[in-house]
Amino acid sequence: MPFSFRAALHGPTLAGILALSLGLTPTWAAEVVVRVPGAEDLADGVRGASLSQTAVDEGRTAPQDLIAAARADYRRVLAALYEQGYFDAEVNIRVDGREAANLSALNAPTQVGQIEIAVIPGPRFAFGRAEVTPLPQGVRPIEGFATGAPAGTAIMRDAANGGVNAWRNVGHAKAEVASQDIVADHAANTVSARFGIAPGPRLTFGRARVSPDSADSAVRPDRIRAIAGVPEGRTYSPEEITRAERRLRRTGAFRAANITEDEAIGPGNTLGTEISVEDAKPRRFGVGAEISTVEGLRLSGFWLHRNAFGGAERLRFDAEVAGIGGQTGGIDYSLGATLTRPAFRHPDAQLSYGVLLEREDEPTYLSDRFHIFAGVERILDDKTTVTGEIGFRAARTKDPFGTRNFRHVLLNAGGVWDNRDSTTNPTTGAYVEIDLMPFIGVSGSASGVRATTDVRGYLPLGDSVVLAGRTQLGSLMGASIASTPPDFLFFSGGGGTVRGQGYQSLGVGTGPGRTGGRSFAALSAELRTDITDKIGAVAFVDYGYVAASSTFDGGQWHGGAGLGIRYQTGLGPIRADIAMPVTGGGNSVNLYVGIGQSF
């Protein structure tokens, strides 16, 4: 005789279904047939819940396995239907035409050809009553959990969890669901759902401790606690736990970092926490390369120690050689070292010391420089970072004004606001960087202020097209062109400003006497589209402007445009752009290759 399951569950039984956790991915296979007449949109959910479908997908087609899976599917399919609010459903599961409930996995047939899951969902229930109580002042139940709204165990579970989280967010770390009353009225096709929350006391953070399992970490326990920055004495907040874990991972010294809350409440309504870390490999190195037909080959490399002195200090050495085979004057060299100490006077601040030696051989000047500095970086939130730095720089330059020596004390202040969805291949969001650098001359060098701004924005146009734009501005005030180090002045042209134009081809003046300007602007626009999952194409146009004055008066523009291709990798897209001038009458073609989008 036919066998069917009909949903007619009340209180505790329905509440038990509510606790069932589903995490399978819907898939398709010829051996499993799902029929949901009049509600085909439910078929994917049924497939996702079906152990029979999973068994077939994974190649577990032994008859005993399939019959056991089919018998288990009654409850799982009903649970999936309850998720969507179908509490009066009928489910039949047939194995080669025989009801699965009448079969035994211990007396299975020699083979199974087809499993049919037939569902009559019945009406979708609505909430006759929907309550989560009590809630903190000003907090309402989640959207969708309301009288008259479509019911379902998924929304009920989310509503109960939302009530608990609302209390946790205001300091009640041990809030829990203390009672629940769930009843389905099949005559009225409604569900009454009420959840009672026990907030518990409001807690403050107690002292954080490092777990015994982390005792072998090469980072000292006091530094682990300082970097995590769990705020002892402050009102509990789950967001503080998340921030503390993020700070530990941000150092790079740890492969994993987790913070767990104590089960028991401590004296004075405090909540202790335990920090567990797993060290990353302490040393790392890397290399990079970029090439263009104008700027030549750029090679770079670094060596990094993530825990130089036992406090998660980062010691990093960088070296770079650029301009190899290019048309940019000559070969540039740089060698630098930086030591960074996290949790400097605040868990979200870091102190850096650095030294840099470099030679720049550009078309209009040759400069040898030595720079030492110390600076602090402070992360204000997930999007905003500010920096302050003081340094001393000595430079010897040769340019149209002769051979000169410069000595400056540099005071640098800046900030970055970044809400892009990716740093290497953004598709939405914006990026803003502002930098202000007063330079104070010593030993006869002139003083002034250099200010720059870089603004980028990304707008998705459909699923596979992105419009990207960039604006760069710069101005140098207080010092004349002749009394300013040439690398503080502004040029335009090349991969970072105007593709298609020669490297630093736009400045002030012409011929041997050409110099950089005191104000600068660059505008770029790109239309990016995906051709396949791995390959993309780009059309772009760039314009740049340089003026001798610091107020952008009396300058000149030039432009370039071209096409590019992108190949997606785990490190970001490999970029290849071909560009030509659109001003100035030139017809040269330039190639630019690198990793990551151009901006």
Three-state secondary structure string covering 408-431: EEEEEEEEEEECCCCCCCCCCEEE
- For 235, which DSSP code? B
Contact 68, 54 (CB under 8 A): no
| CA atoms within 13 A of residue 395's CA, in its CB half-sphere | 24
Describe the strand order of the beta sheet including 126-133 as a list of residue ranges.
Answer: 126-133, 190-198, 176-185
Compute CA 34 distance to the chain's CA centroid, rounded to the nearest angstrom: 39
Tokens of 87: 């509490």
Contact 500, 590 (CB under 8 A): yes
Contact 79, 87 (CB under 8 A): no
Distance CA 16, CA 567 (A): 49
Cβ contacts of residue 32 below 8 Å, gap of 6+? 47, 50, 52, 53, 56, 114, 115, 117
How many degrees, rounded to 5, is the angle at CA 422 between CA 228 and CA 437? 75
Contact 402, 393 (CB under 8 A): no
Contact 7, 82 (CB under 8 A): yes
Distance CA 27, CA 36 (A): 16
User: What are the phi and psi torsion angles at 581 (to 5°)?
Assistant: -70, 145
126-198 has CATH 3.10.20 classification: yes
pLDDT at 237: 96
Distance CA 182, CA 176 (A): 17
pLDDT at 403: 95
pLDDT at 28: 37
What Rg value do the Cα atoms of the chain yield, rounded? 33
Residue 32 CB: number of other CB atoms within 10 A?
24
SS (H, E, C) 500-558: CCCCCCECECCHHHCECECEEEEEEEEEEEECCCCEEEEEEEEEEEEECCCCCCCCEEE
Of 66, 44, 42, 45, which Cα lies nearest the Cα of 55?
A: 66
- For 488, which DSSP code? G
Residue 169 CB: number of other CB atoms within 10 A?
15
pLDDT at 6: 41
Long-range Cβ contacts of 372-380 (<8 Å, 24+ apart):
373/410, 373/412, 375/351, 375/412, 376/344, 376/349, 376/350, 376/351, 376/352, 377/349, 377/350, 377/352, 378/346, 378/348, 378/349, 379/348, 379/349, 380/348
Name the residue with tokens 């982390």. 214
pLDDT at 475: 98
Distance CA 428, CA 466 (A): 8
Tokens of 569: 């990798």
**What b/e readout covers 218-239, taking b as 16+ CB neighbours within 10 angstroms?**
ebeeebbbbbbbbbeeeebbee
Burial of 153 (0-12, 13-18, 19+ CB in 10 A): buried
Instruction: Tell me which fold the domain 204-279 belongs to.
Output: Ubiquitin-like (UB roll) (3.10.20)
Mean pLDDT per block of 10 residues along the chain (599 residues) reads 38 42 38 87 92 90 89 94 94 92 84 91 95 95 95 96 97 96 94 96 96 94 96 96 96 96 95 97 92 85 96 97 86 97 97 97 94 98 96 96 96 97 94 98 96 98 95 97 96 93 90 91 98 96 97 95 94 92 84 90
Residue 368 CB: number of other CB atoms within 10 A?
15
pLDDT at 11: 38
pLDDT at 10: 39
Domain 283-595, second-level architecture: Beta Barrel (2.40)
Distance CA 569, CA 533 (A): 10
Residue 34 CB: number of other CB atoms within 10 A?
22
Describe the strand order of the beta sheet including 254-261 as a list of residue ranges.
Answer: 204-210, 270-279, 254-261
pLDDT at 530: 95
pLDDT at 25: 36
| Coil, helix or strand at residue 457 | strand
Tokens of 560: 């370039």
Contact 218, 282 (CB under 8 A): yes
| Coil, helix or strand at residue 263 | coil
Domain ranges (residues) in the chain: 5-120, 126-198, 204-279, 283-595
Distance CA 139, CA 238 (A): 17
Distance CA 187, CA 333 (A): 82
Tokens of 341: 């100490």
- Please give the helix or strand (H or E) that residue 155 lies within, else none: helix 153-168
| Coil, helix or strand at residue 566 | strand
Distance CA 518, CA 158 (A): 58
Of 166, 162, 197, 163, which Cα lies nearest the Cα of 180?
A: 197
Contact 563, 420 (CB under 8 A): no
> 126-198 and 204-279: same fold?
yes
| Coil, helix or strand at residue 572 | coil
| Coil, helix or strand at residue 157 | helix
Whole-number Cα distances in Å, 23 to 116, 340, 423, 472, 577: 22, 42, 30, 47, 43
